[in-house]
Amino acid sequence: MPEVKFYHRPAVPMEMHKVKIVQRLELLPAAERLQKMKEAHYNAFLLHNKDIFMDMLTDSGVNAMSDDMQAGMLRADDAYAGSETFYRMNRKLTEIFGMEHFLPAHQGRACEHIIAVHFVKPGKTVIMNYHFTTSKAHITRLGGKVEELIKDEGLIPASDLPFKGDIDLDKVRECIAREGAENIAFLRLEAGTNLIGGQPISYQNMKEAVAIAKEHGIPTVLDASLLQDNLYFIKTREDSMKDKSIREITRMIGDLFDLIYFSGRKFGFGRGGGCMVRDEELFHNMEDYVTMFEGFLTYGGMSVKEMEALIIGFEESMDFDVISQGPQFIRHCVDELVKCGVPMITPGGGLGAHINAREVVPHIPDHEYPAGALTVAMYLCGGIRGMERGTLSEERDPDGTEHIASVEMIRLAFPRRVFTLSQTEYVIDRVKWLYDHRHLIGGLRFTHEPKTLRFFTGRLEPVSDWPEKLVEAYIADFGEDQ
């Protein structure tokens, strides 16, 4: 039962679990938050978790485990080689995706590393619906290039399109003709397309894109890290799929691809990752990279306990009730904020609620990182840590100029099964306050800018004393203790 009905009022999203273990949270007063943000060099990644009230940075590795998953950890078979846990994990993934061979890795980007090292040579192109930061970095590091061929309408922030993650099939054909099939390393489709707001790709589109690649002998890869939310959207938004079970849909998707990789920090509610490979020869050709970069072939850098938990997490991901909650909480948050007039990425997708920063703070130029500034402001005004997903997360072009992101967003992630509805309401309230005081928010500039993945560890400063002014206004409305 994915939606519980109410008698006296419109339904609200419902937690289909009860809390068994809790972690205490502290809401520091605004003046202290300002101090903590200064110490973190105006980069939310550098904040200490203890100073955060609502950590909505990511859903990665911070999803709540079920009692069954925790119980599973006790039966993990610890062995350097030949762990029974590995064979159980392989069997479960084979059952779900219909592919036989499993290469374990410590997380999603480790899979991307292995895949890139195997397939990408200088000058080769990888076709994608859209890039993810780490997937692109691994390809460009090896001299490859990325062609993002998402449909144009996928990038329109406010929309009612059900599948904004769909790839443009005409552009795919055109790209193959232009580059030559032999120069395409692989086609990568990303489920639950992260950087455009956790937006899903339809089964139909996956099928057609893969068919084009197959026609030209191009290997096909699915990034299934965010597949869980995408499965929910396929079942609820794609007419021809609504009578299929989540398990059937997953298997139909699995049957399309040559290789499927995932971050177990997202898919499976645990921590880890791996690649499922269809072809035995390809599997053997990639094995060496696991032993070289990750660990022995039966753990690949993962803790065996986490592997055992993931096996159960994969099974829970096949449960429509379980996977419905994330998208329902996100939709509630997005719809309420839209009612408050806040420019959001719509329709609500998976992973989190995404605010369209460019429209909230149009007075901040792109090179002063509007979404980065809004992320700082969100922490100052509520102790909420979101993630910048915009120009700051991009790499500069080879000539040093800023690569301006097509979408400039702040993401408020909803780690699965973690936050309650009242916490969600608090977030909605503070975003609304911030929106009403948006004129007080100013830009940021780098004081230390790393060359790769600069958003993780870069240091910044505000271009004026706007953080102080914003905190003053906040204290005037809520008092010194909030």
One of 226, 246, 337, 384 touching ligand F0G (CB under 6 A): 226
Q: At 171, list the tokens.
A: 């552009």
| Window 71-90: contact mask with ligand F0G (x via CB under 6 A) | --------------------
* Residue 457 CB contacts under 8 Å (≥ 6 apart), including other chains: 43, 45, 46, 450
Task: Report the residue number, 261 or 466, with the smaller CB distance to ligand F0G.
Answer: 261
Task: Report the residue number, 135 or 391, with the smaller CB distance to ligand F0G.
Answer: 135
How far apart are the C-alpha atoms of 182 and 219, rounded to whole Å?
A: 11
Stretch that binds ligand F0G, among 131-139, 425-433, 440-448, 471-479 (CB under 6 A): 131-139
Q: Which residue is nearest to ligand F0G (CB)?
A: 108
Least spacing, CB of residue 137 vs ligand F0G, in Å = 10
Least spacing, CB of residue 300 vs ligand F0G, in Å = 13
User: How would you classify the pairing of strands 352-356 and 384-385?
Assistant: unpaired
Least spacing, CB of residue 295 vs ligand F0G, in Å = 15
Q: CA gyration radius for the chain?
A: 22
Task: Report the residue number, 382 or 415, with the smaller CB distance to ligand F0G.
Answer: 415
One of 53, 119, 132, 419 touching ligand F0G (CB under 6 A): 132
Secondary structure (DSSP) of 220-278: EEEE-TTHHHHHHHHHHH-GGGTTS-HHHHHHHHHTT-SEEEEETTTTTSSS-EEEEES
Q: Which residues are catalytic?
A: 80, 132-133, 223, 266, 389, 455
Task: Report the residue number, 56 or 377, with the smaller CB distance to ligand F0G.
Answer: 56
User: How would you classify the pairing of strands 444-448 and 459-462?
Assistant: antiparallel
Least spacing, CB of residue 229 vs ligand F0G, in Å = 11
51 binds ligand F0G, rule: CB under 6 A: no
109 binds ligand F0G, rule: CB under 6 A: yes
Task: Report the residue number, 148 or 190, with the smaller CB distance to ligand F0G.
Answer: 190
263 binds ligand F0G, rule: CB under 6 A: yes
One of 66, 83, 90, 194 touching ligand F0G (CB under 6 A): 194
Task: Report the residue number, 69 or 191, with the smaller CB distance to ligand F0G.
Answer: 191
Task: Give the position of tokens 């449909």.
Answer: 151
Task: Report the residue number, 135 or 424, with the smaller CB distance to ligand F0G.
Answer: 135
DSSP category for residue 438 = G
Stretch that binds ligand F0G, among 127-135, 327-335, 366-374, 392-400 (CB under 6 A): 127-135
How far apart are the C-alpha atoms of 81 and 70, rounded to whole Å?
A: 23
Beta bridge mates, 260: 222, 276
Half-sphere exposure of 35 (CA within 13 A, CB side): 6
Q: Of 364-423, which residues contact ligand F0G (CB under 6 A)?
A: none
Least spacing, CB of residue 385 vs ligand F0G, in Å = 12
Nearest to 443 by CA among 362, 386, 344: 362
Q: Of 272-331, which residues contact ligand F0G (CB under 6 A)?
A: 273
186 binds ligand F0G, rule: CB under 6 A: no
Q: Which amino acid is at 94?
A: T
223 binds ligand F0G, rule: CB under 6 A: yes
User: How would you classify the pairing of strands 352-356 and 409-413?
Assistant: antiparallel
Stretch that binds ligand F0G, among 12-20, 89-97, 130-138, 433-441 (CB under 6 A): 130-138
Q: At 130, list the tokens.
A: 């859209």
Task: Report the residue number, 28 or 334, with the smaller CB distance to ligand F0G.
Answer: 334
One of 225, 230, 250, 298 touching ligand F0G (CB under 6 A): 225
One of 83, 125, 134, 199 touching ligand F0G (CB under 6 A): 134
DSSP category for residue 346 = B
Task: Report the residue number, 108 or 443, with the smaller CB distance to ligand F0G.
Answer: 108
How far apart are the C-alpha atoms of 280 and 187, rounded to whole Å?
A: 20
What per-residue string of b and e applies to 453-479 under the rule 16 or more CB within 10 Å gives b? ebbeebebebeeebbeebbebbbeeee
∠ Cα 114 407 373 (to 5°): 100
One of 190, 294, 315, 316 touching ligand F0G (CB under 6 A): 190
Residue 184 in 3-state DSSP?
Answer: strand
One of 138, 235, 265, 438 touching ligand F0G (CB under 6 A): 265
* # chain residues binding ligand F0G, by CB under 6 A: 16
- Pairs from 203-207 (Cβ < 8 Å, separation ≥ 24): 203/234, 203/238, 203/240, 203/241, 203/249, 203/252, 203/253, 204/238, 204/240, 205/163, 205/166, 205/167, 205/169, 206/253, 206/256, 207/256
Least spacing, CB of residue 273 vs ligand F0G, in Å = 6
Q: Which amino acid is at 381?
A: C
Least spacing, CB of residue 355 vs ligand F0G, in Å = 16
Where do contacts with ligand F0G occur on this chain (CB under 6 A)? 58, 60, 107-109, 132, 134-135, 190, 194, 223, 225-226, 263, 265, 273
